Structure 1
Amino acid sequence: MEKLMDVLLLGQVRFHELSMRGRVVLSQFPLNLTLLLVCVIAAIADPKVFTDARFLIGQGLELVILAVCVALPWDRIPYGLFLIVPLLDFGPISLLHYANGSSLNGLSLLGVFPTMWLAGSGIRPRVMVPLGGLAALLMVWAPLILAGTAAPNTLAAELLVPFLLLAIGIGTSVMTLSGMAQKARVEELLARTETRERLLNTVLDTVDVGVLVIDDHGQNTYLNAKERELYLAALPEGVETTLESELLIYRDGSEELLPAEQRPLARVLSGETIAHEVYRLGRGSEARTVSISGRQFADVAGDTAGTVLASTDVTEVVAAVHARDKFLAAMSHEFRTPLTNILGYAELLQDDASLSPAAKSDLQIMMRNARHLNHMVDDILAASLTGDEAGGIRLPLDLAELVKQTSDSFSPEASNSGIKLDLATETALPILGDRTGLVRVLNNLVSNALKYSQPGTTVHLAAREEGAWAVCEVADEGLGIDPEDLKRLFTRFQRSDAAVRAGIPGTGLGLALAKDVAEQHGGELECRSEVGVGSVFTLRLPLRKAKQHMTLS
């Protein structure tokens, strides 16, 4: 009874949550409640109606029907048999309709309750809706036929109410079937959503990335297994806390705890987006180095709905990088010392007048190969630098001047190889850049052009201004690059098949490093090439906004 009252008063309990008996009683109850109101109105408007046996019998039958609804164990009765109840309701309503005389009008409209019950059940609507209409017709015609007063005019006078009830039944059935279809669709979508949610949770607990989700109220709504593991690593010893400000979080390489406002979650909650920032969680051997990314996300209305933080454990990666750096530092020392000695003594030997021409030729080969080996060491060391390490210090430079100096440096080599090095510069090209990195890029482009060119050809070196760009172009008339090789030209350690077949030495690092340097300067490096015709490399760097007048020396 408590649940029935809760449903009637639009409380927390819903109709479909009731037992079968509760639903049957609740479906019958509105009619009985309306009949109670009819008794109150009759007592005020026409008390004589209580002397009419048909009125009393009709009211009594409806009470009996309600009592049957309460008494029968509908949960154990085959589903659908409860529709006998609304069909029985038409009988008492018929008695009430013909008992009222002229004092109470419209009691036949009480048939709307059983009509809506039949049509709204959703059970065999093509049968129940016409059956409800037929029952409504019998409700008004049967008493006339039994009383012998049935005539065309009296029967026609009673057609409006059955027709109205049939229309109500059709409308109720259409809305019920539509609601059932929508409910089925919603249930299907809910089932799919729950399945996807379980799949997502399983995936997030399986991947080796920590995920933390915070709602728009700052409450933790999801924490996967990996994030929980990283969280435990950041907990101070013997302390349990859910506050980020109390965790042991450091910048990588620092021993000072980060201030609360500089911690990743606090920054993302304030609206900042972070990407791949490295922190250290915890102290000692149990500390973990993590790469953290985070951002807020919006709901369908565009309002902030929460925050997502993703943490990747890069402890082993960082350790490997440190080991690599140590190895490269050692390799640099071990290689550079003997190379420096070789080149130094070779230069001294060059000045020895007693050397024969053949010995001097061998000495030139030795020096050329030593320099090549020295360049290879430089490339490998440059490839090991990333980010700020590779960026160097940005200073005001003139790209045209750098191009001219590069041309001067390679003129002897070009002349010795029988290649013409043509230089064309227009005006000063002021830029901001790392001189060491840009010189390495230009040297690499010109060196490659000479290596891949044949004697008697020309390498064109040009510097010019194009809009907001300072442009350097290196064009050769060499082997050219196959379209398939061109796709991976700027990939580290990749070399073209033509270069390998021709026996041209190289590490496959130079162009990849050159492109990295160009992009670190906000520029780009492109190549267009045709096999057997040659290649054109174009370096674009942004001109300085405050362009100063510079002259070539």
Structure 2
Amino acid sequence: MDTEAPQRTRATFVLPNSPRWVDAVLGDGDRSRSAMLNQIVVMSVVLVVAAVGLLVGLRGDAVLFFVAVTGVFLLTGAAIIVPWGHVPPRWLAVIPVGDIVAIAIMRTAEPAAGFGLLWVFPVIWLASGFGTAGWIGGMGLSLSAYAVVEATTRTAPSSFGFVLLPLLLIAVSTSTYLSSRRANAQRLLLDRQATVLTQSLERARRHEQVLTEALDRVDFGVVRIETDGSASIINDAHARLLRGSRSSAAPDVFTADGASLLAPEEQPMARVRRGEAFSDARIQVGSGDDRRVLSVSARRIIEPDGRDSGAVVVTRDVTAETDASRERDALVSSVSHELRTPLTSILGYLELAIDTPGVPEAALENLRVADRNADQLLRLVGDVLAASSQSRSAAQVTVAPEDVDLAELVNAAVESILVSAGERGITIDVSRVEPARAYADPVRIRQVLDNLLSNAVKYNRPRGRVSVATSVGDQWAIIAVQDSGVGLNEEDLGSVFQRYYRGVAVRDSAVAGNGLGLAISRDIVRRHGGDITVNSVLGVGSTFTVTLQARRPGGS
């Protein structure tokens, strides 16, 4: 796409004093048409005058009068026949100059008839069509002809009549000249503006063509929805992605898992037309081998004045990603199932060995270490198996909530992590832990606390600090775990609770992890009707906040 800033064209013009002005303003066809029309007007008036002269009779020289009339007719024929577009513009002045001479002859032939008024027509022509030269030349020639005729005919007109005609010619010529200049200046300005507008339209057309070609070449769909719900821009990819089955012009739209049809009012485009904005809404178009899983995102377009002017909808084909994720989950689930059985057996035999009488103390200690690690491995396998479930809930866990004191659960979890924290010199502050009753499953909440405290220690700085606090209100009980660790950036904050996700700073560290703990913890808390959130600053630390119901729903 052309990114160069459009050049701004400034409309400027100059009014020269030469006939080239006429050539700049009038084209070849305009000049010929102007000559013909102006001369036809002069001829028509002269024709009427000649007809009246014949009817009432001429008291002067009739022969000389009709010679002048014939000259006007000849000039009219020349104005019509001559291709003025191929002749220098100055030559066109011959016609009105000839008219002035012919009218002078008519006035000489009949001095008392007032034919001098006919000079107005050629004077107007010269003043309007030939600039300053035509204005001055027309006035000068007509006034000179008037003076010569008056001198040769030896008529004794009144002083008023002698002055009136020259004043009339001067006034008409000057007024016409000024009006013509204004009209031609406006015409030049309009022509320049029309040129600028034409260039802008052409540039906009080229940009639109480039944009259309670019949108048609990308592999994701783009749609521009106007405020009235109509689509002003639709690229080829959007139509192709929504086409679905090759045999159906209107494919069915399912939920992302393909289990149920999506109601028309719940489909992405219907939601956009209702004014909604969303990100990564998953749908399935078609079924069987022709199915497509699409990710649809919509962003509202807000004008500077705050007015909603529609939306842009982007559609991506994520079928391959979805299939790969399902295959991965299926593989992990299968492996996890296979691992649970031998691990359970190992734990059983370890417990039997520990309970066997006469085992030396050193061997018992080794057996207890093996038992703890095998138990940890079994819990990890359980987490992976729960997270790999293909249902909408990532963690297939059950909760049995009861009235518990969160302070007791926190203190127990802190006690279990003290050894790991001491190895890294990390201090755990529980000064803000106070009694806080909540309606929760103690086993599952302990699992959440173990995960949060484990992360706070693992991803902390050597000799860092972890602070735990509890509080309770009328409706909600809160647990907050704050650390001075590596922290999270903006991208991590939006993805930290996703399965298998590990933050940038975490990936750069040497600490191992599977990216499942936080995802499972959030699912556990949400099954309690609460939620878990995080606030973090990269390089400073993070604070995870668990919100739980303070009492049994519907209870007092």
The answer as to 2:533 corresponding to 1:524 is: yes
The 5 Å alignment of 1:221-300 reads 223-234=234-245, 236=247, 246-254=250-258, 263-265=267-269, 268-269=272-273, 275-293=279-297
Pair 421,278 (structure 1): closer, same or farther in 2 beyond 3 Å: closer
- Contact 1:298–1:305 (Cα < 8 Å) also in 2: yes
Residues in 1 aligned to 2:530 and 2:52: alpha-carbon distance in whole angstroms = 96
SS in 1 for 2:358: coil
The answer as to 2:346 corresponding to 1:334 is: no
Report which stretch shifted further, 371-380 or 19-28.
19-28
The Cα of 1:274 is off from its aligned counterpart by 6.0
Give 1:194's aligned residue. Answer: 205
The answer as to 2:186 corresponding to 1:179 is: no
The answer as to 2:329 corresponding to 1:325 is: yes
The Cα of 1:446 is off from its aligned counterpart by 1.3
Residues in 1 aligned to 2:471 and 2:71: alpha-carbon distance in whole angstroms = 105
User: How big is each residue's C-alpha offset from its partner over 1:334-375, in whole Å with a ceiling of 9 and x where there is no partner?
Assistant: 233333333343344333443323223222332343344345
The alignment covers a number of residue pairs equal to: 495
The 5 Å alignment of 1:531-550 reads 537-540=542-545
- Contact 2:326–2:390 (Cα < 8 Å) also in 1: no
Residues in 2 aligned to 1:518 and 1:50: alpha-carbon distance in whole angstroms = 120
Residues in 2 aligned to 1:274 and 1:46: alpha-carbon distance in whole angstroms = 91
The 5 Å alignment of 1:136-535 reads 136-148=135-147, 158-212=169-223, 223-234=234-245, 236=247, 246-254=250-258, 263-265=267-269, 268-269=272-273, 275-293=279-297, 310-374=314-378, 376-377=380-381, 380=384, 389-390=393-394, 401-402=405-406, 404-414=408-418, 422=430, 424-426=432-434, 428=436, 441-451=448-458, 459-464=466-471, 472-475=479-482, 481=485, 492-494=501-503, 500=509, 505-507=512-514, 510=517, 524-527=533-536
The answer as to 2:80 corresponding to 1:67 is: yes
Pair 84,337 (structure 1): closer, same or farther in 2 beyond 3 Å: farther
Give 2:11's aligned residue. Answer: none
The 5 Å alignment of 1:120-139 reads 132-139=131-138
The Cα of 1:198 is off from its aligned counterpart by 2.0
SS in 1 for 2:284: strand
Opposite residue 205 of structure 2, the aligned amino acid is E
SS in 2 for 1:473: strand
- Contact 1:140–1:158 (Cα < 8 Å) also in 2: yes
The Cα of 1:132 is off from its aligned counterpart by 0.9
- Contact 1:297–1:308 (Cα < 8 Å) also in 2: yes
- Contact 1:471–1:539 (Cα < 8 Å) also in 2: no
- Contact 2:285–2:291 (Cα < 8 Å) also in 1: yes
Percent identity (aligned):
22
Residues in 2 aligned to 1:58 and 1:546: alpha-carbon distance in whole angstroms = 116
The Cα of 1:542 is off from its aligned counterpart by 6.8
CA RMSD of superposed structures (Å): 5.9
Residues in 1 aligned to 2:525 and 2:36: alpha-carbon distance in whole angstroms = 82
Residues in 2 aligned to 1:203 and 1:325: alpha-carbon distance in whole angstroms = 37
| Larger RCO of the pair (alpha carbons < 8 Å, separation 6+) | 2
TM-score of the two chains, using structure 2 as the length reference: 0.64
The Cα of 1:135 is off from its aligned counterpart by 0.4
The Cα of 1:525 is off from its aligned counterpart by 1.0
- Contact 2:413–2:446 (Cα < 8 Å) also in 1: no
Give 2:154's aligned residue. Answer: none
Residues in 1 aligned to 2:133 and 2:216: alpha-carbon distance in whole angstroms = 61
Report which stretch shifted further, 465-474 or 344-353.
465-474
Residues in 2 aligned to 1:316 and 1:358: alpha-carbon distance in whole angstroms = 54
The Cα of 1:193 is off from its aligned counterpart by 1.6
SS in 2 for 1:285: helix
- Contact 2:404–2:442 (Cα < 8 Å) also in 1: no
User: How big is each residue's C-alpha offset from its partner over 1:134-193, in whole Å with a ceiling of 9 and x where there is no partner?
Assistant: 202211211222444599988777544444344334433433343333233323322322
Opposite residue 144 of structure 1, the aligned amino acid is L
TM-score of the two chains, using structure 1 as the length reference: 0.65
Residues in 2 aligned to 1:142 and 1:65: alpha-carbon distance in whole angstroms = 21
SS in 2 for 1:422: strand
SS in 1 for 2:244: helix
Residues in 2 aligned to 1:174 and 1:29: alpha-carbon distance in whole angstroms = 24
Residues in 1 aligned to 2:50 and 2:146: alpha-carbon distance in whole angstroms = 27
SS in 2 for 1:291: strand
List gaps (5 residues or longer) in structure 1. Answer: 1-18, 119-130
The Cα of 1:207 is off from its aligned counterpart by 0.8
User: How big is each residue's C-alpha offset from its partner over 1:285-310, in whole Å with a ceiling of 9 and x where there is no partner?
Assistant: 23333334457879999999887654
Residues in 1 aligned to 2:228 and 2:490: alpha-carbon distance in whole angstroms = 49
Opposite residue 289 of structure 2, the aligned amino acid is S
Residues in 2 aligned to 1:96 and 1:399: alpha-carbon distance in whole angstroms = 121
Residues in 2 aligned to 1:400 and 1:54: alpha-carbon distance in whole angstroms = 128
Pair 248,68 (structure 1): closer, same or farther in 2 beyond 3 Å: farther
SS in 2 for 1:524: strand
